[in-house]
Amino acid sequence: MNNDSIDNLSGSVCSMKGSDFIVSFLISRGIKHIFGYPGGMVTHILDSLTKQRSQIEYHICCDERAAAFAACGYAQAGAEIGVAFATSGPGATNLITGISNAYFDSIPVLFITGQVNTFERCNEHNVRQKGFQETDIVSMVKGVTKYCAFVNNVDNLPAELEKAYEAAVSGRKGPVLLDIPMDVQRNYLKYVRQVPTNKEIRRSNCDYTIILDLLNVSKRPCIVVGAGVKQERFVKEMREFLSKTGVPIVSSMIAVDVCSGLENYYGFIGAYGDRTANFIVAKADLIISFGSRLDIRQVGAKRDQFAPGAKIIRVDIDPKELEYSIRDDLCICSDLRDVVDWLSSYDSIYHADKKWIDICNIIRESLSGFDTNPENGLIQKISADIPDDITITTDVGQNQVWVAQSFIFKPKQQLLASGGFGSMGYSLPAAIGAFYHTGKPVLCFCGDGGLQMCISELHTISVNKLPITVVVLNNNALGMIRHFQEMFFNKCYSGTTADSGFRSMDFVKVADSMGVKSKILPDSGKMEMAFDGPSLLEVIIDKDTYVVPKLEYGKPNQDQFPCIDRDLYSYLNML
């Protein structure tokens, strides 16, 4: 095989080994970095990658789950698609957590699994397994992929790769998987080289006039911004549009970086959201939701109580999401970019009503400082001291909510997190993927529980000398679940505290053993983050940490725990 990609010499008939074709296909789609772990059934792919290492690099993580998360972080950071590979059997099944994460957060990732030779498969034989490490991964991941297929013939590779790629990056994005037997990888196929054409972007035929009409008669409009804005890669344009409207803005927790710093942004909504944001939504007469699922964590368990006095317009590319209604939603199934481009063409789209803006500001001022704690102050301090082109990743748990509540994002910064799937152990592998896309340093927030799930990736950042700074907030507890047990199980702690079965490891010793610079700091210490290589800063915090405010089941979103003074609550409701 020469160094030509499959797109050169258009129209000529060529022969190529299957694994070489896979790698050339990836190169032709502009993919420069992929993640995985070696195994017997992917040795041909590894060999083909090595021969093309001047055009595409593969990065070995310490296990397949981390490789899957790294591919997710790579795609989230701005790449069109991430790629992860693993061998058959346990290698393939270890990818499933990352596949599920990509599915629920709409992240485009191509997963390639090796499989035993076609002649080693069970096929018609009624046995559990015929080939060593043979596992039917396609059946396992059907429910959490947009497309998955077993490639049983090398001549099917071009069509299957094209179908998988298009499924991953089209419409509502998501993961795809191709299971490729070893003999398919090593066999040769004949194909006609073609240069991919720029496909015409399908534009929706929706009438967006009703959005403008309702917005212009509304007295108390509010825009909800969801993570779909980030997945469609037009954060800059959305920020310009949001500033232009002057409409009060709230967001989902995962989309706080889209809106942070805008004058008309009032925080994120939901169970752990800002009281101000939840009050504003409750008082609005029109809600326009862009790319937000409006799930239970955002609107509450009693969906009909969300924004009770408002008409609701929902814009989403996925028609199935729109079927999960709140009330009599006005649903627009469309690419967000189309809608925003159309609305932005009107210079007088909306002139903010001063009385409504005054009410929003009164709510914010009245609730200012009510829910502060040391961890929020620490996060805010960190955000003020770091460069403006750094990517931020979080794990799942209290650290994620504290970052969403208190980190002040600069325009070039972005937040990468596991949202809908909510997988602990995500932050550090995602940081690895993000670095390989941006080439910029990454600040990785973790709790002690989450970091222990991916602690081996400290070795990955060490041997590759990646400029990733891990800040682990260590309360020697699984803080969010400990708080839940405190509230609802009469402080009967089980597996969440040091005296009930949970133990934090010595992170500094572990990091030092892997060649990662590390130190322990008190919560008031100076952070001193250099971002010139791998490092770990452990902040010791109190074991009895809390995320507040917190919504109790059945209550309206704006009435969060701990309850504010009832006179103040009534006053804000009456505004």
CB 152 within 8 A of CB 118: yes
Q: Do 146 and 233 reside in the same domain of the chain?
A: no
pLDDT at 203: 46
pLDDT at 531: 84
- Among 360, 413, 10, smallest CA distance to 230 is for 413
Q: Which residue has the tokens 């993570």?
A: 227
pLDDT (tens digit per residue) in 420-457? 999 999 999 999 999 999 999 999 999 999 999 999 99
Boundary-marking domain end, from 165, 192, 219: 192
Q: Do 462 and 495 reside in the same domain of the chain?
A: yes
Whether 97 shows a pLDDT value over 80: the answer reads yes
- Which residues lie across from 373 on neighbouring strands? none
Q: Which residue has the tokens 């862009």?
A: 290
pLDDT at 448: 97
What does the longest C-alpha to C-alpha distance in the chain come to? 79
- For residue 73, tell me if it sits in a domain: yes
Boundary-marking domain end, from 367, 399, 418: 367
Q: Do 422 and 527 reside in the same domain of the chain?
A: yes
Q: Do 356 and 383 reside in the same domain of the chain?
A: no
Q: Do 362 and 450 reside in the same domain of the chain?
A: no
Distance CA 315, CA 528 (A): 43
Mean pLDDT over all residues of the chain?
Answer: 91
Q: Do 130 and 238 reside in the same domain of the chain?
A: no
CATH code of the domain in which 473 resides:
3.40.50.970
pLDDT at 527: 66
pLDDT (tens digit per residue) in 496-525? 999 999 999 999 999 999 999 999 986 555
Q: Do 345 and 467 reside in the same domain of the chain?
A: no
| Mean pLDDT, rounded, for 93-97 | 98
Of 195-209, 413-427, 502-516, 528-542, least confident by mean pLDDT is: 195-209
Whether 351 shows a pLDDT value over 50: the answer reads yes
- For residue 555, tell me if it sits in a domain: no
Higher pLDDT, 52 or 303: 52
pLDDT at 198: 46
DSSP assignment of 372-413:
--HHHHHHHHHHHHS-TT-EEE--SSHHHHHHHHH----TT-
pLDDT at 194: 58
CB 276 within 8 A of CB 284: no
Higher pLDDT, 535 or 325: 535
- For residue 5, tell me if it sits in a domain: no
- The length of the chain is 575
Number of domains making up the chain: 3
- Among 508, 426, 437, 435, smallest CA distance to 465 is for 435
Q: Do 403 and 450 reside in the same domain of the chain?
A: yes
pTM of the full structure: 0.93
Domain limits at 397? 374-540
Q: Do 27 and 143 reside in the same domain of the chain?
A: yes
Q: Do 18 and 140 reside in the same domain of the chain?
A: yes
Q: Which residues contact 521 (CB under 8 A, 6 or more apart)?
A: 527, 537, 538, 539, 540
Cα 111 from chain centre:
17
